[in-house]
Structures are given as structure tokens and as C-alpha cells.
Amino acid sequence: MGVFSGVPASIMGTGMYVPKKVITNEDISKMVDTSDEWIRERTGILRRHLAEKGELTSDVAEKAAREALEDAGVTPEDLDMVIVATNSPDTIFPGVAPKVQGMLGANRAGAFDVQSGCTGGVYAMAMAASGIASGIWKKVLVIGAEVLSPLVDWTDRNTCILFGDGAGAMVLGAAEEGGGRFISTELRSDGEKHDQITFRGGLVENPASQETVEKGLHYVEMKGNEVFRFVNRIIPPFLRQFCLNSGIEPEAIEWWFFHQANQRIIERAAERLGIQPEKVIINIDEYGNTSAASVFIALYEFLREDRVKKGDRLLFTAFGAGMTYGGIIYEA
């Protein structure tokens, strides 16, 4: 893992979509034994957007994708590849990416899903940038999309307070003269901790049965506090070393896009890295944890605020089921 060489890959356009339905901490405190104060203080979340019944991951992905294509001035026929990072695919197969490719009429493009926990979005960006760097792809649509709400146990206060639905997308292409470019990436996994965030039911290990339903195996399960401690321990030194391996001091990163899992995790990591709070993008208050979509949504909103300047460095980082983690640096 390391520094990109070959054709520089640039972000040409971005898009996002979140469902209209909003559910507040107050709403959740009527469903499980929790409170607005607890959720706010422990996570930073105030509300999250949830899909309507029948609104699928491919639907939210398509909406974000259409906006990204328009923003980039790229037509679906121009695309060489569609990559969707998701942990809540409509079905285990086909993947979401082929469905979206079909919905868009991206007739020349291949399509595949990346399923790597909440880190999937960062993995997908790295795949897309690598494909462009190598010259095999010219234009790639990368989407992070989740409809996790049907996979969440709304009687489990450990998980139901956290997650939200939504999608973010970006179109990547070969950088034009003076355009931005991806600089470097580092993708990691600690599979010995594969039991920390799971969705166990309905596949090879636990084929669907009356028993799997009764045991609640068709829901997201998370050892929240263990994940919290793992991330606090691993992520700050990983990011420091990643920056140094990229030839960049952490202080020289202008904007930090952490996976929006928990505001306390983000603030602690930033503090340990000596990052000024104003350089850290936070929107977990509005969307909760949208898993593989979170860094895309954060970037979309940030770009619309017109704060980014030519040459600014943006670092995207995420962690999640696997346990996977990783980072990618972009120079605007």
C-alpha cells in the first residue's frame, strides 16, 4: 500500500441522497430505554434519516449517482465501472452495483459491490483511483449506499440509536491539467476481531430457519464498547503513520473526514493527532452512522460550503466490521 503512481485520478463531481423521513432521539426514546441526553452525549447524534418501506439501497444509490454524474458533466455511457460500497445490499446477489448500472443505463460499464464494513467507502475510492491510475478505467462512479434500517433490531438500544440510511456518490476521472488527485492510500484489516460487528443470519454459517429468526440473527449485532476501544487504540497511530508514509505531516492535512460512527471517537482521535477541531468535518448530528456512505455524504456537504482551496489535502478514514480500517488522501 502506498503512494499512487500512473494516471492521477480526480474527483469530478459528487452527489448525495437521504430519505425524507427523520427519526429523532425523542422518537427512539419512546421505543427503547434511552434518552435524547444519553444519545447526544455519548454519540453526538440528534436525528437520522430512514428509508420508507420498499425504498431500497439501489434506489438511494441511484439518486446520489444521478446527481454526481450531473455535477461531473459525465453521462452514464461514459462510465467504465460502477462500484457500490454497501453493507445492506438489496439482496446478497445480484449486488447493488449491477442494479444501479442497469438503472442508469451505463451500458459500457462493469459493476461490483465492495462489502467491507463501514470502511467499504474508503476501500471503494481506493479501488476506483487505482483503476484510473493503472489506465484500465477512465471514468468510475463510486457510491456508498446504505438502507440499514430493516437490518436493525429496533428493540436493541445498543444499535438502533446509531444507524441512519442514505447514499453519497462521486465520479472519478483522469485528472485534467491543474485538477485534484488522489495521493495515497492504506487499507488494513484485523480479522481476528471479526466477531465485533456482525450480521449472522441467513447465509452459510446460519441458514435461515425458525431458530435464526427467534435468536435475532437477522439483525446487526455490535460489541459497541469493544469497537469503541479498538478504534481509539488503533486509529490515531495508524493515521499518523499513514500520513508520514505519504510524505505528509498530519498537521499538513487541511480537512479530516472521519467515518461518522461516534462524535466522541472522532474528537478523541483528532485530539491525539493534534488536529484543530475546525479541520474535522462532522455531520453525525443530522445523519447518524450511515456506514459505508458516511464519508461520501460528509464530502458532499463540505464541498457545497465552498471552503476547500486548490492544493488543500483531504484525508478520508473509516473503520468497521471485519475489523477493517483504512485511509486515503486527496489533494484538491
Which positions are catalytic? 118, 259, 289
Q: Does 121 bind ligand UT7 (CB under 6 A)?
A: no
Binder among 42, 66, 188, 193 for ligand UT7 (CB under 6 A): 42
Site for ligand UT7 in 134-193 (CB under 6 A): 157-158, 161
Q: Select the residue interacting with ligand UT7 from 22, 23, 24, 34 (CB under 6 A).
A: 34
- Rounded Cα–Cα distance for residues 287 and 165 (Å): 8
Residues linked to residue 264 through DSSP beta bridges, in sequence order: none
Sequence-distant (≥ 6) Cβ neighbours of residue 306 within 8 angstroms: none
- Judged by beta carbon, residue 27 or residue 77, the one nearer ligand UT7 is 27
Q: Are strands 110-114 and 81-85 parallel, antiparallel or unpaired?
A: parallel
- Per DSSP, 100 falls in state H
Pairing of strands 22-24, 181-189: unpaired
Nearer to ligand UT7, 74 or 273 (CB): 273
Of the two residues 121 and 224, which places its CB atom closer to ligand UT7 in the complex? Answer: 224
User: Measured between alpha carbons, how far is 165 from 294 in angstroms, rounded to an integer?
Assistant: 10
Note whether 225 binds ligand UT7 by CB under 6 A: yes
Residue of minimal CB distance from ligand UT7? Answer: 224
- Say how far residue 184 (Cα) sits from the centre of its chain: 18
Coil vs helix vs strand at 190: coil
Binding of residue 261 to ligand UT7 (CB under 6 A): yes
Query: Is residue 147 within 8 Å of 56, Cβ to Cβ?
Result: yes
87 is a site residue for ligand UT7 (CB under 6 A): no
Distance, CA of 252 to CA of 280 (rounded, Å): 13
Contacts with ligand UT7, 44-63, as mask; x by CB under 6 A: --------------------
Site string for ligand UT7, 192-211 (x = CB under 6 A): -----x--------------
Q: Which residues in 297-326 contact ligand UT7 (CB under 6 A)?
A: 319-320
Number of residues that bind ligand UT7 (CB under 6 A): 21
End-to-end Cα separation, the chain, in angstroms: 21
C-beta of 224: minimal distance to ligand UT7 in Å?
Answer: 3
Is residue 191 a contact partner of residue 161, using CB atoms and an 8 Å limit? Answer: no
Residues that bind ligand UT7 (CB under 6 A): 34, 38, 42-43, 118, 157-158, 161, 197, 224-225, 227-228, 231, 261-262, 265, 289, 291, 319-320
